[in-house]
Amino acid sequence: MDKDRCPHVLFFPVPSQGHVNPMIKLAELLALTGFRITFLNSHHNHERLLKFTNMTAHFARYPGFELRAITDGLPLDHPRSGAWFLKMYEEATEMKIKQSLRDMLVNMSTPVDYMIVDGFLGFALDVARELGIPIVYFRTSSPCSFWAYYFIPDMIQAGELPIKGSEDMDRFITTVPGMETYLRCRDLPSLCRATDKEDAYMKLIVKHTRKSPQADALILNTAEELDGAILSQIRTKCPNVYAIGPINAQLNNRLNAKHGESHDHFSNTLWEEDRSCISWLDKQRNRSVVYVSFGSIMSMKREELIEIWYGLVNSKSKFLFVVRPNSVIGKDGEGEDVVKELFDKTKDQGYIVDWAPQEAVLNHAAVGGFLTHSGWNSTLESIIAGVPMICWPYFSDQQLNSRVVSEVWEIGLDMKDVCNRKMVEEMVNDVMVDRKEKFAKSAAEMAKLINESVNVGGSSYSNLDRLIEDIRGMSSKTRPKTIVL
Ligand code: UDP
């Protein structure tokens, strides 16, 4: 590569909000250093981002930042709700995406020097190896879940999996190094609840996780101060780990340093944000509101929504509730009616929106607690904002994240596997009233520590600098292979 040409980095996330979010922020961080970026979205998400965000205008400020779209293998009119993304891993679909990726790379006028790809897109590693392009995996979910996934075969071998019955759920798991003191069966990532050790989804995740050491390095959205113990374990399998998170905070800091406080934030959201909730929050007392949101994927049963709503109402705390369109499952569209009915009944105590500007909400002075599904991005956003959590995990890494929040970091409570109004009321009162100061103090201490890690000289800041230098170094050494079309 011409020594003076800046590296050209290709980003490729799994097409869901929680994966796109940190990836696009890392892309912006590299664009800030002058790298040329190609960011690949699925056609479906590309359209939504164009519709709901100022993405095009925002990235126009970075010369060489290109947004491109690629198939996710499904027809454009597919609803993409529920576990649709598993379709991407069917052999024919995966081949289709792999071929499109290869064609795109081969035909690029400026060759790609370096690929940063979601750790669940194993086929991209094969393409990168074929074309001689260095590749780094980015696992956007929590490091603790990565580590638990890695040991699923060991748990099976030791007879700790599959789970044999509901009475089994509180037993401790002993085969995941570093987690022996807190990991119970019920805290394992949800796919470990499969009763068949040949479960296709479990095998898929294990396959991708065990492939990780083959990539040139691993990027994780965390900080040494937060996940140091697990990071040292992960480094026994993947020696080159860049812990550069929380990426949202890292980006905010570096943008502030470069452009000052007035820089315009890019909100990379796949739904339209309802900012009226900020005006509502402006009218509330400091730390008096529970923010309730369960992320971009989760669907909840009508009965669960009702229990949570009653729990909140009975707690007497004010609340801001995100109910994503089509996320409540009831009979014959009943879910939607429930939302309307609840909204009408709670006008004085609560506010309901379809989709909120979550980071702004969590950083608002009125918010004192977060009832969350414990998605990794939401968890990090809450930590950075110093907001204690009440965790009601749904699936994936969330079962484990909620355990770490409550037992290891002690910045919240875990409501896993229970959803009744009494429990919701008790937990909300515990965090918002009874032990308010204790939780606020531990969350504030954690926020301080993590904010320092993304400041100049902090661990995540230095790790990102190292990644930037390594990309420069690798890109100048590695010339993509001559491609046979
Ligand atoms: N989010 C948002 N507005 C909402 C709810 C969620 O902007 O009303 C964002 C949130 O800030 C986070 C992402 O959506 O960055 C959700 O990611 P997470 O990993 O927490 O959960 P997932 O959606 O993957 O289950």
Mutational pocket test of ligand 1: of 80, 273, 296, the residue with most ligand atoms within 8 Å of the beta carbon? 296
Residues whose CB is less than 8 angstroms from the CB of residue 243 and which lie 6 or more positions away in sequence, other chains included: 143, 220, 222, 223, 224, 227, 231, 459, 460, 463
pLDDT for position 4? 59
Architecture per CATH, domain 276-449, reads as: 3-Layer(aba) Sandwich (3.40)
Rounded Cα distance, 128 and 71, in Å: 18
**Closest to 417 measured CA to CA, from 175, 180, 168, 226:** 168
pLDDT for position 332? 59
Tokens 């790298």 belong to residue: 35
HEC secondary structure over 177-229: CCCCCCCEHHHCCHHHHCCCCCCHHHHHHHHHHHHHHHCCEEEECCCHHHHHH
**Closest to 248 measured CA to CA, from 114, 391, 68, 447:** 447
% of the chain at pLDDT higher than 70: 94
- Residue 430 confidence (pLDDT) above 90: yes
What's the 154 CA to ligand 1 centre distance in angstroms?
32
- Residue 85 confidence (pLDDT) above 80: no
For residue 284, count other CB atoms closer than 10 A to its CB. 17
Residue 222, token pair as written in the block: 């965390």
Rounded Cα distance, 279 and 283, in Å: 7
- Residue 330 confidence (pLDDT) above 80: no
- Residue 261 confidence (pLDDT) above 70: no
Residue 21, ligand 1, Cβ within 6 A? yes
- Mean pLDDT for the stretch of residues 354-365: 96
Name the H helices within 294-420: 302-315, 334-345, 358-362, 376-385, 398-403
Residue 378, ligand 1, Cβ within 6 A? yes
Ligand 1 nearest-atom number relative to CA 324: 8
Asked if residue 242 lies in contact with residue 462, where contact means CB atoms within 8 angstroms, the answer is no
What's the 280 CA to ligand 1 centre distance in angstroms?
20
The tens digit of pLDDT for each residue in 379-389 reads 999 999 999 99
Could you give the C-alpha distances from 417 to 190, 369, 391, in angstroms and in order?
11, 20, 10
Q: How far apart are the first and last CA of the chain?
A: 21
* Interaxial angle between packed helices 334-345 and 302-315, expressed in degrees from 0 to 180 and rounded to the nearest 10: 10
What's the 393 CA to ligand 1 centre distance in angstroms?
13
Taking domain 8-267+453-475, whether its CATH number is 3.40.50.2000 is answered by yes
Mutational pocket test of ligand 1: of 17, 248, 397, the residue with most ligand atoms within 8 Å of the beta carbon? 17
Mutational pocket test of ligand 1: of 19, 358, 373, 391, the residue with most ligand atoms within 8 Å of the beta carbon? 358
The tens digit of pLDDT for each residue in 440-480 reads 999 999 999 999 999 999 999 999 999 999 999 987 776 55
Residue 440, token pair as written in the block: 């606020």
For residue 228, count other CB atoms closer than 10 A to its CB. 14
The tens digit of pLDDT for each residue in 30-84 reads 999 999 999 999 998 888 888 888 888 899 999 999 999 998 888 877 777 666 6
Q: Is the peptide bond before 189 cis (omega within 30 degrees of 0)?
A: no
Ligand 1 nearest-atom number relative to CA 354: 8
Residue 375, ligand 1, Cβ within 6 A? yes
- State the DSSP string of 318-337: EEEEE--TT-EE-GGGHHHH
What's the 484 CA to ligand 1 centre distance in angstroms?
41
Q: Residue whose CA is closest, atom 7 of ligand 1? A: 358
Ligand 1 nearest-atom number relative to CA 16: 24
Residue 388, ligand 1, Cβ within 6 A? no
Average pLDDT, the chain: 91
List the chain domain ranges: 8-267+453-475, 276-449
The tens digit of pLDDT for each residue in 146-202 reads 999 999 999 999 999 998 877 789 999 999 999 999 999 999 999 999 988 899 889
Rounded Cα distance, 166 and 164, in Å: 7
For residue 65, count other CB atoms closer than 10 A to its CB. 18
**Closest to 70 measured CA to CA, from 150, 11, 25, 138:** 11
Instruction: Please report which helix (H) or strand (E) contains residue 412, including its range.
Output: strand 412-414
Q: Residue whose CA is closest, atom 2 of ligand 1? A: 358
Q: Go through 405-437 and write b for each residue having 16 or more CB atoms within 10 A of its CB, e for each that does not.
A: bbebbebbbbbbeebebebbbbbbbbbbeeebe
Interior angle at CA 228, CA 225 and CA 234, nearest 5: 150
Ligand 1 nearest-atom number relative to CA 19: 24
Ligand 1 nearest-atom number relative to CA 356: 8
What's the 357 CA to ligand 1 centre distance in angstroms?
9
Q: Residue whose CA is closest, atom 15 of ligand 1? A: 377
Rg (CA), the chain: 22
Q: Is 468 helix (H, G, I), strand (E, B) or coil?
A: helix
Residue 295, ligand 1, Cβ within 6 A? yes
Residue 224, Cβ density class (10 Å: 0-12 exposed, 13-18 middle, ≥19 buried) = middle
Residue positions annotated with a catalytic role = 19, 118
